Chains A and B, each alone.
Chain A
Amino acid sequence: MTSESLPLEYGVFLDWIEAGSSVLDLGCGDGKLLSLLVREKKVKAQGIEIDEQAIYRCVAKGLSVFHQDIDNGLSEYANKSFDYVILNQSFQQVKKPDIVLTEALRVSEKVIISFPNFAHYRARVQIFFNGRTPITSSLPYEWHDTPNLHFLSILDFVEYCEKRNITIETSSFVGRNRSVKIFPNLLALTGVFLISKK
């Protein structure tokens, strides 16, 4: 795996996650991020993933992974079982994001969440001028084949955290080829947040 093939936000995860910590990746896909964290940060890793083919690819990478739905895969964990729970591009795909996030914050000290920003200017342009459901590099799907169930902006998430008494410890925003420092809700394709429960 070359570094060029890695999404920019993976660098954010590498920066934030402490070496040797325990990580639960909810919706870990083919285990690309998780295996990177194992290699670079020596984390104790566990994944949960619903797609069977993705499970095979995770196992081939040497990862421990549960073939389960994340909507109901967390209830059996004791409080604070992990140092980090990761929701990398999976938060907007769960049936009940509220419950998943509450559970994630229960079983872990910290949660790192990354999601596509629905309010990116390109999305806004497509809605406003074309009157079409937006397609951007972080929201690449047609309306009829998207795995995303929820569409949220960076501001939506910040506001949501305030309402739910969730602390945003730090955040990072990613554009097409670089990180975004100003006007993230307009310019960022992906938002990454490190959150904890107050």
Chain B
Amino acid sequence: MIASHLLPKKIGKVTQRHEHPINIPEQPSDSETNRSVGHVETLYYQFALPPNELTLESGEKLGPITVAYETYGQLNADRSNAILILHALTGDAHAAGFHKGEGKPGWWDDMIGPGKAFDTRKYFVICSNILGGCRGTTGPSSINPKTGKRYGLDFPIITISDMVQVQKHLSDHLRIDRLLSVAGGSMGGMQALEWLTAHPDRLKSAIIIATAAKHSAQQIALNEVGRQAIMADPNWKEGHYYGGHLPAKGLAVARMVGHITYMSETSMGEKFGRRLKDNAKKQKFSIDFEVEDYLHNRGNNFVKRFDANSYLYITKAIDSFDVSRGKPLQQAFKGIKARALVLAFKSDWLYPASQSLEIVKACKLAGIETTYCEIDSTYGHDAFLLEIEEESHLVKHFLQNVSSAPVVTEENEVMAYDI
């Protein structure tokens, strides 16, 4: 049985924002209003119903699976203008526009909208919540149909490849044979790499931002600190905390570590310096510095919107990811006809440019038509959400070029270059 609210709704249902009264803290200017996709809704698609469960990379079966997704812009007649946006660790399907009654736009609203990098006047933009997430797509906090209770740690181990499998099912459901592009930063970039290697014939290009083909020891180590913080919280209870106290302290600490890694020394220095909190209590080990206050706030807010078990599952998926499965990267890229745009940021020490250059090196060896830019930024890893002007310029022109280029396949390769 499919619950009616889980059935796919009309694609691309978007109404203009001015039709809906929204309380926005800072009133955007007229031009900004016109550049918004407006009021959007999250849609749901359910598949992998028993007995046709999805076989995961681990061999385990999972189903049914619900995918939360949003779409912006219109799919064209030959269904060739679709772009799949892939979110990072804690992102969700709400990439652009405004939800009813909410003042905060989607997480990549600066990049998606009319006239923006992912121009919704030209492209049909899709973003879905990842498998294992907690923002509408099936994850450890979803109800396990076998027990009627939330999965918790009964949820199977998932991988980046499983996330991409689910996205492929969604694009099948939307009847999109070939995506114009897939694009994402951080873990989103890993999904873009996985799309590129696992389904090269299903896309024309990939935009791979501030990411790695596989995690380094340092990156795994940082994630492990976050996981241990969650699991050390007495409220975690081996993942069976639903309905009781949440492992809020542990999850907040995990988020604090995350936020430290997302910023650079310079951006933290500029934002906080050694400034003290205004009403700092003069107690031993109280929150004295602004930076401490910031991290606490970020941690505490995060707990309200994110599931601790999802954090464990997703960070494990990131750590275990290796797009070439132990083989040289160029082997995994061999024969790929799609084009690639690889972006890194100068001050990003979590996903340093050297990791992007590894990807670029393999692209060169595999003969993938690639553009690479290391954008000068002091924002650290956060730059992929903040350096909008540079990113927009590169993405906009790259997409323009990709959409005007013919589809290159083995058979018509020579022909395509002769045009």
Contact = CB atoms under 8 A, between A and B. Distances in A.
Contacts of B373: 52, 55-56, 59, 67
Nearest to B394: A59
Contacts of A56: 373, 390, 393-394
A28 B401 CA distance: 19
A66 B397 contact: no
A52 B375 contact: yes
Nearest to B370: A64
A66 B418 contact: no
Interface string B366-398: 010111111110000000000000100110011
Size class of the contact patch on chain A: 20 to 34
A93 interface: no
A60 B393 contact: yes
Contact of A62 (B372, B375, B390, B401): B401
B377 to A, nearest CB: 11
B285 interface: no
Contact of A46 (B369, B390, B397, B417): B369
The 4 closest A-B pairs by CB, nearest first: A62-B401, A67-B373, A76-B361, A59-B397
B371 A59 contact: yes
A80 interface: no
A56 B374 CA distance: 11
Contacts of A1: none
Given A56-B393, A60-B397, A62-B400, 6 more contacts: A46-B370, A52-B375, A64-B370, A67-B373, A68-B372, A77-B364
Given A20-B417, A64-B339, A76-B364, A59 B372 contact: no
Contact of A66 (B370, B394, B400, B401): B370
B314 to A, nearest CB: 30
10 contacts: A42-B418, A52-B373, A56-B373, A64-B369, A64-B371, A66-B360, A66-B372, A68-B372, A76-B361, A77-B365
Given A52-B376, A59-B398, A66 B371 contact: yes
Nearest to A55: B373
Contacts of B375: 52
Interface string A12-49: 00000000100000000000000000000010101000
Contacts of A65: 371-372
Interface in A59-93: 59-60, 62-68, 76-78, 81
